[in-house]
Amino acid sequence: MRGMRSYLIGSAIIIILYLVAQYYKPQPTDWSPSFLKEDKIPFGLYILDHEHSKIFPGTTIKTTRQPVYNTLKDNRYKNTTYLFIAGNLKFDKLDYQELVKFMNQGNQVFIAAFDLGKILSDTLKLEANTSFSTKLRAVPIHFTNPLLLPKNSYVFDKGMGDQYFSTVDSSRCTVLGRNANGQINFVKYTFGKGALYVLPNPQLLTNYSLLNTAGSSYAAKALSYLQKVETLIWDESSTLGPIKDESILSAFLKHDQLRWAYYLSLIGLLVFVIFEIKRRQRIIPILLPLKNSSADFVKIVGKVYYQERDNSDIAQKKISYFLEFIRLNYRLKTLKTEEEFISALVLISGAQEETVRQLFTVINGIQAGIKVTDGRLIELNKLIEKFYNQAKQ
């Protein structure tokens, strides 16, 4: 027991030291575009969420992780904005139909995403592309409204302003922004009393952009196109996915430190078990597998029948089993074996008519009381086997 106690104490100390070291270890900057409002990483939306009361004054924020159809179906929203900020959107036809109904009722939709998905792109005839700027030459962007033009165009690093729409149906939309090359990068579509705003640069609304003056100014002006509303629905189904039942272990494994602590605990437990088995496990006796006595049973039964020489009983059992096979497989009534039954059996089973007729001639004779000799019993068995070989199973 002293050795076991020392092992457990040592393992606990190692795990605690590892957790402390991982906690205080400098973390590298995470540049992954999460677009989550609780993330403080460069491409998270913590600042936008934290400042929503200033950007959307008097507006109630409602977060949803349900698909568009589930969120809007049977809910008559009024004076509402639906906000999508994500890397890509996956709308289906039902989602788009509900979104159009939502806008026709006078509501607004603001989408900032690299990839709009097939349904939205095909319907709006809108396709995004990238200009691939470099650190030395970033493509400036600006608004088309003269009242929103700054002294200098907006210039962003990290390729945040590189996205634009390579395909646009200008007859259906209003152009709100362009880059220095004249390419469109912000549009508005009108649906009934409502509107749809589409921006191909979701990174312009993230923490990295909002931390500098140009970025916060651009984001504020882009979002200022949205009219003041009572409710804003913030979509998270495109970033976090639909709500699912998560176990405690899945939440535990999301964090690197806890995940590795869990793995180390399992490895330590495995080493302990192996070590203890090696020291204390008794020799396991060899148990012979149970003998299959089915073949012996069949031989014994066969000898009994052979000694009794009751051919009639054997023949009746074979006939009963054969007729039961016909009833189960071909759904035919075997009470009578007249011409109609034989024709039906030949048609359904696919066996040769000659074989069927010979077989039932022998069966009818045995059932009529004719003495069953060894030769007649052998003939019955051969005809039944011949039928099985010819019939469709």
pLDDT at 35: 93
C-beta separation of 259 from 253 below 8 A:
yes
pLDDT at 330: 82
φ/ψ (deg, to 5) at 217: -65, -45
| 218-265 pLDDT per residue, tens | 999 999 999 999 999 999 998 887 765 556 666 666 667 777 788 888
Q: Spell out the per-residue pLDDT of the chain, length 393, in tens.
A: 566 677 677 777 887 877 777 766 777 778 888 899 999 999 999 999 999 888 899 999 999 999 999 999 888 899 999 999 999 998 999 999 999 999 999 999 999 999 999 999 999 999 988 876 655 567 899 999 888 877 778 888 888 888 999 999 888 999 999 998 899 999 999 999 999 999 999 999 999 999 988 899 999 999 999 999 999 999 999 888 776 555 666 666 666 777 778 888 888 888 877 776 665 656 777 888 877 766 676 677 667 666 666 778 878 888 888 888 888 888 887 776 578 888 888 888 888 888 888 888 888 888 887 887 878 878 888 888 888 888 876
Rounded distance between C-alpha atoms, residue 360 and residue 378, angstroms: 15
C-beta separation of 199 from 112 below 8 A:
yes
Strands 194-199 and 127-130: unpaired
Tokens encoding 389:
């070989």
In 155-181, which positions are buried (b, 16+ CB within 10 angstroms) versus exposed (e)?
A: ebebbbbbbbbeebeeeebeebbbbee
pLDDT at 1: 52
Rounded distance between C-alpha atoms, residue 191 and residue 42, angstroms: 34
pLDDT at 102: 95
| 116-134 pLDDT per residue, tens | 999 999 999 999 888 766 5
pLDDT at 88: 92
* CA distance readout (Å), 37 to 18, 44, 60, 95: 30, 6, 16, 23
Rounded distance between C-alpha atoms, residue 149 and residue 142, angstroms: 7
Rounded distance between C-alpha atoms, residue 56 and residue 48, angstroms: 10
* CA distance readout (Å), 272 to 9, 165, 183, 269: 13, 61, 65, 5
Rounded distance between C-alpha atoms, residue 351 and residue 361, angstroms: 16
Q: Say if pTM beats, i.e. exceeds, 0.75.
A: no
Rounded distance between C-alpha atoms, residue 273 and residue 204, angstroms: 54
C-beta separation of 139 from 130 below 8 A:
no
pLDDT at 189: 96
Burial degree of 289 (CB within 10 A; 0-12, 13-18, 19+): exposed
pLDDT at 244: 59
CB atoms within 10 A of CB 137: 7
| 29-66 pLDDT per residue, tens | 788 888 999 999 999 999 999 998 888 999 999 999 99
List strand residue ranges (DSSP E) for 134-273, in order.
Answer: 141-143, 163-167, 173-179, 184-191, 194-199, 231-235
pLDDT at 306: 63
pLDDT at 323: 86
Q: What SS3 state is found at 169?
A: coil
DSSP output for 68-102: HHHHHTT----SEEEEEEEEE----HHHHHHHHHH
Strands 127-130 and 231-235: unpaired
Rounded distance between C-alpha atoms, residue 89 and residue 111, angstroms: 9
pLDDT at 112: 95
Rounded distance between C-alpha atoms, residue 186 and residue 192, angstroms: 20
List strand residue ranges (DSSP E) for 156-307, in order.
Answer: 163-167, 173-179, 184-191, 194-199, 231-235
pLDDT at 236: 93
pLDDT at 218: 93
Closest CA to 71 of 123, 63, 196: 63
CB atoms within 10 A of CB 23: 8
